[in-house]
A and B are shown apart, each in its own frame.
Chain A
Amino acid sequence: MAHLSAETMADGARLAGCYPERRSALIPLCHLAQAEQGYLSEEAMEDIAALVGVTPAEVRGTASFYDMLHTEPVGRYVLAFCTNIACMLAGAYELLEHAEELLGVHAGQTTPDGLFTIEEAECLADCDRAPCVQVNHRFVGALDSESLDLLVADLTAGNRQTEIPQHGVLCRVRRAVDLPARRGAAAGARSEKTTFAGGAGDGGAGS
Chain B
Amino acid sequence: MITAAAPIVTARLSAYRDSHTLERYLATGGYDALRKALSMTPEAVHSEVNTASLLGRGGAGFPAGRKWGMKRPGPTSYLVINGDESEPATFKDHLLIERDPHQVIEGTIIAAYAIGAAAAFIYCRGEFALGLERLTQACNEAYDYGALGANIFGTGFSLDLVIHPGAGAYICGEETALIESLEGKRGFPRIKPPYFPAAIGLYGEPTIVNNVETMSNLPWIVLNGGAAFAGLGVGSSTGTRLFALSGRVRRPGWYELEMSKTTFRDLIFDDRLGAGVAGGGELKAFIPGGVSAPWFGPEHLDLGLDQDAVGKAGSMLGSGSVVVMDDTTCAVRAAWRITRFFHRESCGQCTPCREGSGWLEKVLVRIEAGEGREEDLDLLVDACDNIAPELGWPPQQTTICVLGPSIPSSIVSGIRMFRDEFLAHVKDGGCPFPPDRLASGAAKGARL
Contact = CB atoms under 8 A, between A and B. Distances in A.
Contact of A100 (B125, B164, B254, B441): B441
B136 A175 contact: yes
Q: Give the interface centre of A66, A83, A128, A193 by most chain B CB atoms within 10 Å.
A: A128
B118 A186 contact: yes
Given A86-B247, A127-B89, A127-B91, A181 B149 contact: yes
B154 interface: no
Contacts of A172: 133
B432 interface: no
Contacts of B187: 65-66
Contacts of A28: 164-165
A146 B184 CA distance: 42
Contacts of B90: 123, 125, 127
Contacts of A24: 164, 182-184
Contacts of A184: 150-151, 158
Which range holds the interface residue count of chain B? 35 or more
Interface of chain B: mostly helix, strand, loop or mixed: mixed
A157 interface: no
A97 B440 contact: yes
Contacts of A103: none
Contact of A177 (B86, B143, B244, B247): B143
Given A62-B184, A84-B88, A180-B160, A89 B132 contact: no
Given A21-B203, A27-B165, A68-B168, A62 B439 contact: no
A69 interface: yes
A134 interface: yes
Contacts of A124: 127
Given A62-B185, A123-B88, A189 B136 contact: no
B413 interface: no
A176 B140 contact: yes
Contacts of A130: 246, 252
Contact of A171 (B129, B183, B245, B323): B129
Nearest to A64: B186
Interface in B306-343: 321, 323, 325, 329, 333-334, 337-338, 341
A176 B337 CA distance: 42
B148 interface: yes
Interface string A27-62: 110110000000000000000000010100000011
B100 interface: no
Contact of B334 (A85, A171, A190): A85
Interface string A171-196: 11111110111111110011001000
12 contacts: A66-B187, A67-B167, A69-B168, A93-B438, A94-B439, A120-B441, A127-B246, A128-B252, A137-B128, A138-B130, A170-B165, A185-B118
List the 9 closest pairs (A to B, CB-CB), nearest first.
A67-B168, A26-B184, A66-B167, A181-B158, A68-B168, A93-B439, A23-B184, A86-B246, A127-B246
